[in-house]
Chain A
Amino acid sequence: MSTLLKIQNLHAKIGKLKILNGINLSIRAGEIHFIMGPNGSGKSTLALTIMGDPRIKVTKGKIYFQNKNITRLEPNERAKLGIFLGFQNPIAIEGLFLASLINTSANVLGKKIADKEIDEALRKINLPKDFLYKDVNYNMSGGEKKKAEALQLLLLKPRLAILDEFDTGLDVDALRTISKAIKSLMNKYRSFLIITHYSRIVDYIKPDKVHIMVGGKIVKEGNVKLAKNIEKYGYAKVLGEKYAEA
């Protein structure tokens, strides 16, 4: 399996605040990685940095995607390479139909989406057809926003899906539905980087690797067991000193 994403010694700050302090991470094609960690550990910043958020300044280190250095690329160029970010708090864009966004994205990403695919994706996430004619993330509940993100993921079919807390704001039924929909995308070429601070999602999606982030660093790595331990005992107990240091 080839390496899809490789992050080397990544340091980044927002304004004067250092948030990422030397991240190393490697994801191969077809793998599912979880990043877990307590609030404020820099998980979302990592996701945004991979996508190229201009508000974040990379001060050191590199990000490679399919062996290409993407550290300085514009977000849309990263998207064109096949990176997708499902946002934790997707921003509302009043006056823009979700359908228009999906169409425009598909266009610029060089994808053709058949009507049948749209119907199928809506069905998988349990959304009515007129959901497409809501304004993007506008007047939507937290759960609806997450569904809208999932819908875009299903239709745009990226090589790497970074999902930032897609599980928050969803009730148990919706979580099951969306997890199932996401799983339907999984194959040996497509990789997932799933950020969460609860481990309940492990019940639905099995990670190949779990990374625990504290203080802008990955402090512990493991497999699904690590995630389950955190659920059982909490970060403080599992991480011990490392947690206290951060």
Chain B
Amino acid sequence: MLKLNKKYREKYGFRTKVGYDAIYEGYPNEEMVRALSREKGEVGEHEWIQKFRLKALKYFLQKPMPSWGPDLSGINFENIIYYARPEVNRAKTWEELPKKIREVYERLNIPEVEKKYLLGLSAQFDSEIVLRRIKEELKKLGVIFTDPEDGLKNHPIFRKWFGKIVPPNDNKFAALNSAFFSGGSFIYVPPGVKVPYPLETYFRINISRAGQFERTLIIADEGAEVTYVEGCTAPVYSKSSLHAAVVEIVALPGAKVRYVTLQNWSKNVYNLVTKRSVAFENATIEWLDSNIGSKITMKYPSVYMRGENAKAEIISVAYAGKGQIQDTGAKAVHLAKNTSSKIVAKSVSAEGGEANYRGLISIAKEAARSKAVAKCDALLIDEKSKTNTYPYTNVQNQESSVAHEAFVGKLSQEKLFYLMSRGLDEDQAMSLIVSGFFSDFIRKLPLQYAIEFKRLIELEIKGGVG
């Protein structure tokens, strides 16, 4: 653990001292929510947003902690900072950012990736987006890439879908997010527009005891296509942080949305995220969801196939090292005819880590001739590590098919020996075996992220095992 933290600390887990304009902490209450709402200018015609927040707070206070999954009793709501606004003006160029903050992103190589591979990037620092870069090409396509706060105030289509896919009372952490949401992204892609390169948001937690509650809403209009990437890291602290995001995606008829997550939080972060999408006729939604860091992650990206011929593909991968629980999975909900879903879940448990797959396949009565396939593979690196599978299936019509296979394997000594006979040391050999095990995921990623993901795996294995 120490060894691992040292490596992570150096590359991703470093701390930066910056000033903050506003910090709200203590057990969540109405006053805090009102103050945040005022900060965000939710007055007059925008007052409804404050009402939305306050209602969400009520849900949060009423709802019990989820009891069906990992133990979350380590979260102390007293000790979380619910809003932390760094002393910085929104920048449009990297140069405009204060040096200290710019250096954080430079150390993480974000400006380089942005320049080379992205049409748009936003960078969140604790509770606020501190930079948004939009290339001319993206503007020309008529794509909206902005803050959710701006979306709520100025884009009726945002308001139409906001909180509709993940309502504030969905679960305790979605409620908390809905009360304190700040930052994140709103993306709208007009009909028929195919965005040729990805858009990305990079989330950085900096402050100790942080609560980060961003919102993301992506709307792909008819026949539109877009790939969105989120990356995240945080400094290593002894006290826990909480990341509770809400992500909503709407793929209108014929649209295609691919959502890529490279989760690499430090191992003091509780990562409890609600990700859900709806796919209309002939639309496709792909979640490429990876979880390497965090203390406990609970995340089950979902697709509700509401239109005929809608498609869902969810590839979820997780690496649970020492002291980590990755409770991840997927939900495919078939609500219309001829819909099809594919779930691939792969997890690695090492050094006593625990990786659980939790999945739901549901096929409604109306969803005749639908098809669902799920494949869950778990790889155990040692005897101390754990894995569990909780697949739930609910099929309401006779004309649909569901196939589910699950497989648990141990790290093969024979594979290690084979690779070591080619000159690789044990860590290198293990990295290649684990990356290979995750290849269903890696081979779907845009190249630069595939390289990054393999590097993260290598870092985990070098630091954590042996």
Q: Flag if B424 contacts A76 (CB, 8 Å).
A: yes
A79–B421 alpha-carbon span in the complex (Å): 6
Q: Flag if B420 contacts A95 (CB, 8 Å).
A: no
Q: Flag if B417 contacts A54 (CB, 8 Å).
A: yes
Binary interface profile of B, 414-451, with partner A (CB < 8 Å = 1, else 0)? 11011111111110110011011111101000000000
Q: Flag if B436 contacts A94 (CB, 8 Å).
A: yes
What chain B residues lie within 8 Å of A152 (beta carbons)?
422
Q: Flag if A105 contacts B422 (CB, 8 Å).
A: yes
Q: Flag if A76 contacts B420 (CB, 8 Å).
A: yes
Q: With both chains docked as a complex, state the minimum distance between the C-beta of A111 and any C-beta of chain B, in angstroms.
A: 9
Q: Flag if B439 contacts A55 (CB, 8 Å).
A: no
Q: Which of A55, A80, A84, A105 has the most CB of B within 10 A?
A: A105
What chain A residues lie within 8 Å of B388 (beta carbons)?
none
Q: How many pairs of A and B residues are in contact by the CB < 8 Å rule? A: 82
Q: Flag if A95 contacts B422 (CB, 8 Å).
A: no
Residue of A nearest to B437 (CB): A95
Q: Flag if A91 contacts B415 (CB, 8 Å).
A: yes
What chain B residues lie within 8 Å of A79 (beta carbons)?
420-423
Q: Which of A85, A104, A135, A156 has the most CB of B within 10 A?
A: A104
A95–B431 alpha-carbon span in the complex (Å): 12
Binary interface profile of A, 56-88, with partner B (CB < 8 Å = 1, else 0)? 000000000000000000111011100011010
**Among the listed B421, B425, B429, which residue makes an inter-chain contact with A85, where contact means beta carbons less than 8 Å apart?**
B421
Q: With both chains docked as a complex, state the minimum distance between the C-beta of B285 and any C-beta of chain A, in angstroms.
A: 24
Q: Flag if A100 contacts B421 (CB, 8 Å).
A: no
Q: With both chains docked as a complex, state the minimum distance between the C-beta of A87 and any C-beta of chain B, in angstroms.
A: 7
**Among the listed B418, B423, B428, B442, which residue makes an inter-chain contact with A93, where contact means beta carbons less than 8 Å apart?**
B418
What chain B residues lie within 8 Å of A54 (beta carbons)?
413, 417
What chain B residues lie within 8 Å of A27 (beta carbons)?
none
A171–B438 alpha-carbon span in the complex (Å): 35
Question: Is A53 among interface residues, defined by CB-CB distance under 8 A?
Answer: yes
A76–B417 alpha-carbon span in the complex (Å): 9
A117–B439 alpha-carbon span in the complex (Å): 28
A146-198, CB < 8 A from B: 152, 156
Q: Flag if A95 contacts B413 (CB, 8 Å).
A: no
Q: Flag if B412 contacts A135 (CB, 8 Å).
A: no
Known A-B contacts A54-B417, A79-B421; the reply to A100 vs B439 at CB < 8 A is: no
A78–B422 alpha-carbon span in the complex (Å): 9
A95–B440 alpha-carbon span in the complex (Å): 8
Residue of B nearest to A83 (CB): B421
A78–B420 alpha-carbon span in the complex (Å): 9
Q: Flag if B421 contacts A55 (CB, 8 Å).
A: no
What chain A residues lie within 8 Å of B438 (beta carbons)?
95
Q: Flag if A95 contacts B423 (CB, 8 Å).
A: no
A95–B438 alpha-carbon span in the complex (Å): 7
Q: Flag if B419 contacts A93 (CB, 8 Å).
A: yes
**Among the listed A55, A91, A94, A109, which residue makes an inter-chain contact with B423, where contact means beta carbons less than 8 Å apart?**
A109
Q: Flag if B432 contacts A100 (CB, 8 Å).
A: yes
Q: With both chains docked as a complex, state the minimum distance between the C-beta of A156 and any C-beta of chain B, in angstroms.
A: 7
Question: Is A227 among interface residues, defined by CB-CB distance under 8 A?
Answer: no
What chain B residues lie within 8 Å of A76 (beta carbons)?
420-426, 429
Q: Flag if B428 contacts A96 (CB, 8 Å).
A: no
Residue of A nearest to B418 (CB): A91
What chain B residues lie within 8 Å of A125 (beta carbons)?
none
Q: With both chains docked as a complex, state the minimum distance between the C-beta of A162 and any C-beta of chain B, in angstroms.
A: 10
B361-416, CB < 8 A from A: 412-415
A108–B428 alpha-carbon span in the complex (Å): 10
Residue of A nearest to B436 (CB): A95
Known A-B contacts A91-B412, A95-B438, A96-B432; the reply to A108 vs B424 at CB < 8 A is: yes
Main secondary structure of the interface of B (DSSP, over half): helix
**Among the listed A51, A93, A104, A105, which residue makes an inter-chain contact with B415, where contact means beta carbons less than 8 Å apart?**
A93
Q: With both chains docked as a complex, state the minimum distance between the C-beta of A146 and any C-beta of chain B, in angstroms.
A: 14
Chain B: interface size category: 20 to 34
Q: With both chains docked as a complex, state the minimum distance between the C-beta of B173 and any C-beta of chain A, in angstroms.
A: 33
**Among the listed A53, A104, A108, which residue makes an inter-chain contact with B417, where contact means beta carbons less than 8 Å apart?**
A53
Q: With both chains docked as a complex, state the minimum distance between the C-beta of B414 and any C-beta of chain A, in angstroms.
A: 5
**Among the listed B417, B436, B442, which residue makes an inter-chain contact with A135, where contact means beta carbons less than 8 Å apart?**
B436
A139–B56 alpha-carbon span in the complex (Å): 53
Question: Is A101 among interface residues, defined by CB-CB distance under 8 A?
Answer: yes
What chain A residues lie within 8 Å of B435 (beta carbons)?
95-96
Known A-B contacts A95-B435, A95-B437, A96-B432; the reply to A90 vs B420 at CB < 8 A is: no
What chain B residues lie within 8 Å of A156 (beta carbons)?
422
Residue of A nearest to B432 (CB): A96
A242–B414 alpha-carbon span in the complex (Å): 33
What chain A residues lie within 8 Å of B432 (beta carbons)?
93, 96, 100-101, 104
A78–B417 alpha-carbon span in the complex (Å): 12
Residue of A nearest to B441 (CB): A95
A85–B105 alpha-carbon span in the complex (Å): 45
Residue of B nearest to A78 (CB): B421
A51–B417 alpha-carbon span in the complex (Å): 9
What chain B residues lie within 8 Å of A75 (beta carbons)?
417, 420-421
A84–B420 alpha-carbon span in the complex (Å): 11
What chain B residues lie within 8 Å of A96 (beta carbons)?
432-433, 435-436, 439
What chain A residues lie within 8 Å of B440 (beta carbons)?
95
Known A-B contacts A96-B432, A101-B432; the reply to A55 vs B417 at CB < 8 A is: yes
Q: With both chains docked as a complex, state the minimum distance between the C-beta of A27 and any C-beta of chain B, in angstroms.
A: 18
B20-43, CB < 8 A from A: none
Q: With both chains docked as a complex, state the minimum distance between the C-beta of A88 and any C-beta of chain B, in angstroms.
A: 12
Q: With both chains docked as a complex, state the minimum distance between the C-beta of A151 and any C-beta of chain B, in angstroms.
A: 12
A79–B423 alpha-carbon span in the complex (Å): 5
What chain A residues lie within 8 Å of B412 (beta carbons)?
91
What chain A residues lie within 8 Å of B413 (beta carbons)?
54-55
What chain B residues lie within 8 Å of A100 (beta carbons)?
432
Residue positions of A touching B, CB distance < 8 A: 51-55, 74-76, 78-80, 84-85, 87, 90-91, 93-96, 100-101, 104-105, 108-109, 135, 152, 156
> 18 A-B residue contacts at CB 8 Å?
A52-B417, A52-B421, A54-B413, A55-B413, A55-B417, A78-B421, A79-B422, A91-B418, A93-B436, A94-B436, A95-B435, A95-B442, A96-B436, A100-B432, A101-B432, A104-B422, A108-B422, A108-B424
- 12 additional A-B residue pairs with CB within 8 Å, beyond A85-B421, A101-B422: A55-B413, A74-B420, A75-B421, A76-B424, A80-B423, A94-B436, A96-B435, A100-B432, A104-B422, A108-B428, A109-B422, A109-B423
Residue positions of B touching A, CB distance < 8 A: 412-415, 417-426, 428-429, 432-433, 435-440, 442
